[in-house]
Structure 1
């Protein structure tokens, strides 16, 4: 019986596992801020592509520019891979001593990620050509699933997200901030979709 219980616990999803820790929880205001940002930026992606034809989805301003479809594929891949980079920090003891390495406040981080005047090259794994999604609907479904899991995590977790610090090549953030980063990232590329749609050569239908 003991072995069965242990196996059952090990089979819990990674998100459910995070909810078991009982330390300093997020404040109601922090939860509301993150959930609103996650929901708003999710809706932004779906609104940006609603009703677009195949010609519109696949239009490219230039050979080295992304189409709307490629932006969506990138958003969906990033939703999964960015969190996969950060989530191991939540399985380790809190490391608040690393907070001194954090360079951004919450709002400044969101603004920095969303600012498209500053260009950056994505990881090879997140390039649209390497996307595992074959169609825009498939990518959108994966994006929605990942986003719903993040929202559920914020709503239910008792993990001390502020003191689980994520140290990555792209920067150092607390785990709460990293969720804000993921939300802002999808908005960054929603703006990119809008830029594609604003092209004078964008198909009418």
Structure 2
């Protein structure tokens, strides 16, 4: 009997240890909901545009809608790669103090269009997916895969980290950043469509 109790206690402690090193059900739900929302808004916005509309530029230096979508699709792979690289290092609760921004602040930072930032070369659109339809299809496939990863992963997202130019994020915040990045450039697409010379 004593052996059974000790075994049960060990299992219970192991279960508690796992639950304390994974994100909560509410956190997972919040991130998944945001990822789905930003996906749906983007797809709904661009799926019925014609060729003149997707290639319109408000200025020679500006991106077209096609280029915005390609950038989003490239980022969908590159940003999840940064999250996964962060998860490859050892979990380190001692580094929590380096994470200076809250989840809401991260989303506010990336979605704000007030400050324009030049993207890194590996995120630049270069017509890498062939055409607009293929780019949109690739985005949706990548988003589906990334959401599946979040749904199924038992990683300790809060105690693994990513170094961004503006500071340290935990890997859960990295997932929120990815979703917020989609929102940022969806808003950019809206700005393009609001231009007075945008094709009808």
Residue pairs, 1:33-182, within 5 angstroms: 33-129=30-126, 131-182=127-178
Q: 1 CA distance for matches of 2:128 and 2:100?
A: 33
Q: Work out the number of aligned pairs and report it.
A: 183
Query: How far does residue 201 in structure 1 lie from its aligned partner after superposition?
Result: 0.3
Q: Aligned Cα RMSD in Å?
A: 1.5
Who wins on radius of gyration, i.e. which is larger?
2
CA contact (8 A) 1:86 1:166 kept: yes
2:28 paired with 1:31: yes
After superposition, the C-alpha distances for 1:16-57 in whole angstroms (9 at most, x for unaligned) are xxxxx8862211110110000000000111011021000000
Q: 2 CA distance for matches of 1:60 and 1:150?
A: 30
| Partner of residue 4, structure 2 | none
Q: 2 CA distance for matches of 1:166 and 1:91?
A: 11
| Partner of residue 180, structure 2 | 184
Q: 2 CA distance for matches of 1:167 and 1:65?
A: 28
Q: 2 CA distance for matches of 1:25 and 1:171?
A: 22
CA contact (8 A) 1:22 1:158 kept: no
TM-score (norm 1): 0.84
Query: How far does residue 100 in structure 1 lie from its aligned partner after superposition?
Result: 1.5
CA contact (8 A) 1:26 1:160 kept: yes
Runs of 4+ in 1 over 6 A off after TM superposition: none
